[in-house]
């Protein structure tokens, strides 16, 4: 063995020894408040929280893993070995090289402007897991993400992936990198496709709801064709009768074409909470296609307690949403034996009103029900748990009667002194 090879072998052994020693130190000698401290015993609730977090991240892992396989031209990454295949940084370095080439091609074609981002430093192809070489690979990839334009709040730390500390941060960073790479011609993950689809629907809905802020003139030629519109925020109701004119907005009655699909309308498919609070639909009676809430029971007289009966779901997504709602109601511990508080109402294609919140629901890869919350995603099961009315404690905002009396408060009178005059200062 040559001297250089022997020196490299000794350096590698020292690196592995120090990394193992650091891992043991992080495991046993953290502060007393750390979950990995000897004085801190993990409870069963913590284990359940970790399992719940893992289940919620599985759809994201699966989607990002498929994106990595298609982008890199490999097939060995899946949701089960996701962290293990990425924790030495080699796969991420190759990903950065491919994205850099795509950016370079876009700049050469005149599609983009600016400098070409490159991953700097050497990529250690045979870096051992948990070693300093893997940390070097990870640090180079993080610098590349920063140079491409990934926000600081979405960047992960090296130990988040090397030690598997925060897989959620890693997934959010890769999803943001995929959004940026899509601008330069790289096929995005399924969730990013769903985001583009939802954004397009929102833009079309806004254009239909606010057709013209400059002119509200109506042509007098088509008095017979004018249609009176109800004041509803439903985008399908408006877009079906709205036509653009270069000078004015003319409302013309048109036949509505309903297209029935067996899917949710999306192809293959976390962060940023504005969509669930947006009022793209107010859930009026005209908007509702069907009510996912189970039909009310018949009373003793044989008549229904409510005249509204839930129609049959129209596609696979509706059936899955209804099934999730029924399972949630079945597992409720209400004293009545059957929960009627969690109401889910369909207000559009892929749009639902859940516990008073308007959200977009999409089917990812034909089996994962994902809810668009703000700029990120959540599973439908977890979203229903968070918004379960039986588990939400409503606090009254009414001011207590005894606080209405002003005498119950301690009044402190401020005493102000005027500034001293010049004569008093000279004395």
Evaluate if residue 22 carries a pLDDT over 70. no
> Minimum mean pLDDT among 98-107, 116-125, 313-322, 411-420: which range?
411-420
Take residue 84 and report the two structure tokens written for it: 């293990």
Query: What is the structure's pLDDT at 424?
Result: 57
Mean pLDDT of 200-220: 65
pTM given for the model: 0.61
pLDDT in tens, 383-398: 988 887 776 555 555 5
Evaluate if residue 260 carries a pLDDT over 90. no
Evaluate if residue 81 carries a pLDDT over 90. yes
Strand boundaries in 321-400, DSSP class E: 344-348, 351-354, 357-364, 368-373, 376-379
> Minimum mean pLDDT among 75-84, 146-155, 288-297: which range?
288-297
At residue 71, the 3 state secondary structure works out as helix
Query: What is the structure's pLDDT at 69?
Result: 97
CA distances for 151 relative to 87, 96, 250, 363, 406, angstroms: 21, 16, 44, 28, 50
* pLDDT confidence band for 325 (50 / 70 / 90): confident
Q: What percent of the chain has a predicted confidence (pLDDT) above 90? A: 37
Contact between 141 and 89 (Cβ < 8 Å): yes
Higher pLDDT, 256 or 409: 409
Mean pLDDT of the chain: 71
Evaluate if residue 249 carries a pLDDT over 90. no
Higher pLDDT, 333 or 378: 378
* Distance of alpha carbon 301 from alpha carbon 26, whole angstroms: 69
pLDDT in tens, 56-67: 999 999 999 999
- In a 13 Å sphere around the CA of 184, the CA atoms on its Cβ side amount to 23
Mean pLDDT of 265-282: 37
At residue 427, the 3 state secondary structure works out as coil
Name beta bridge partners: 377.
372
pLDDT in tens, 345-383: 999 889 999 878 899 999 998 889 999 988 789 999 889
Query: What is the structure's pLDDT at 374?
Result: 80
pLDDT in tens, 41-58: 445 556 667 788 888 999
> Minimum mean pLDDT among 75-89, 187-201, 218-232: which range?
218-232
Query: What is the structure's pLDDT at 28?
Result: 37
Contact between 187 and 215 (Cβ < 8 Å): no
Mean pLDDT of 115-128: 91
Query: What is the structure's pLDDT at 387?
Result: 81
* Distance of alpha carbon 184 from alpha carbon 114, whole angstroms: 13
Mean pLDDT of 328-336: 71
Evaluate if residue 2 carries a pLDDT over 90. no
Take residue 397 and report the two structure tokens written for it: 């905002």
CA distances for 81 relative to 58, 73, 167, 244, 389, angstroms: 11, 17, 12, 52, 37
Report CA Rg, the chain.
30
* Distance of alpha carbon 318 from alpha carbon 263, whole angstroms: 9
360 phi/psi in degrees, rounded to 5: -95, 135
* Distance of alpha carbon 214 from alpha carbon 59, whole angstroms: 45
* pLDDT confidence band for 9 (50 / 70 / 90): confident
* Distance of alpha carbon 106 from alpha carbon 184, whole angstroms: 6
Higher pLDDT, 302 or 144: 144
Mean pLDDT of 227-243: 39
* Distance of alpha carbon 278 from alpha carbon 198, whole angstroms: 13
Buried b (16+ CB within 10 A) or exposed e, 127-141: beebbbbbbbbbebb
Evaluate if residue 79 carries a pLDDT over 60. yes
Evaluate if residue 5 carries a pLDDT over 50. yes
Mean pLDDT of 391-413: 52
Evaluate if residue 319 carries a pLDDT over 80. yes
Domains and CATH numbers, the chain: 21-182 (1.10.418.10), 192-251 (no CATH), 275-295+310-391 (3.30.920.20)
Higher pLDDT, 362 or 292: 362
Name beta bridge partners: 372.
360, 377
At residue 249, the 3 state secondary structure works out as strand
């Amino acid at each position: 063995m040559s001297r250089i090879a022997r020196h490299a072998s000794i350096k590698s052994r020292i690196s592995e020894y120090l990394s193992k020693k650091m891992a043991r130190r992080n495991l046993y000698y953290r502060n007393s408040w750390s979950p990995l401290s000897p004085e801190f015993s993990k409870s069963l609730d913590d284990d359940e929280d970790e399992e719940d977090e893992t289940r919620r991240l599985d759809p994201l892992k699966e989607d990002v893993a498929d994106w990595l396989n298609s982008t890199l031209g490999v097939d060995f990454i899946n949701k089960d070995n996701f962290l293990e295949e990425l924790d030495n940084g080699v796969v991420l370095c190759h990903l950065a090289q491919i994205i850099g080439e795509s950016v370079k091609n876009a700049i050469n074609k005149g599609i983009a402007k600016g400098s070409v981002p490159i991953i700097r430093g050497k990529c250690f192809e045979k870096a051992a897991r948990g070693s300093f070489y893997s940390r070097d690979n990870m640090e180079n990839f993080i610098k590349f993400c920063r140079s491409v334009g990934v926000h600081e709040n979405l960047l992960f730390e090296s130990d988040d992936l090397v030690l598997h500390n925060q897989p959620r941060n890693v997934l959010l960073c890769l999803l943001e990198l995929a959004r940026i790479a899509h601008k330069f011609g790289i096929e995005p993950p399924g969730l990013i496709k769903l985001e583009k689809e939802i954004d397009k629907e929102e833009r079309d809905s806004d254009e239909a709801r606010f057709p013209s802020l400059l002119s509200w003139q109506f042509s007098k030629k088509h008095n017979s064709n004018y249609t009176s519109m109800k004041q509803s925020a439903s985008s399908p109701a408006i877009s079906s009768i709205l036509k653009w004119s270069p000078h004015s907005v003319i409302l013309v009655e048109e036949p509505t074409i309903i297209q029935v699909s067996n899917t949710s309308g999306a192809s293959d498919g976390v962060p940023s909470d504005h969509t669930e609070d947006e009022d793209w639909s107010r859930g009026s009676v005209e908007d509702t296609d069907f009510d996912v809430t189970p039909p009310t029971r018949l009373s003793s007289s044989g008549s229904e307690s409510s005249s509204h009966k839930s129609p049959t779901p129209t596609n696979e997504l509706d059936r899955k949403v209804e099934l999730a709602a029924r399972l949630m109601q079945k597992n409720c511990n209400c004293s009545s034996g059957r929960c009627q508080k969690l109401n889910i109402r369909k207000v559009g294609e892929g749009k639902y009103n859940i516990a008073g919140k308007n959200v977009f629901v999409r089917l990812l890869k034909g089996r994962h029900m994902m809810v668009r919350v703000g700029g990120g995603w959540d599973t439908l099961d977890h979203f229903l748990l968070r918004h379960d009315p039986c588990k939400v404690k409503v606090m009254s905002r009414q001011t207590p009667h005894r606080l209405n009396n002003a005498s119950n408060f301690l009044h402190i009178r401020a005493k102000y002194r005027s500034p001293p005059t010049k004569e008093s200062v000279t004395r």
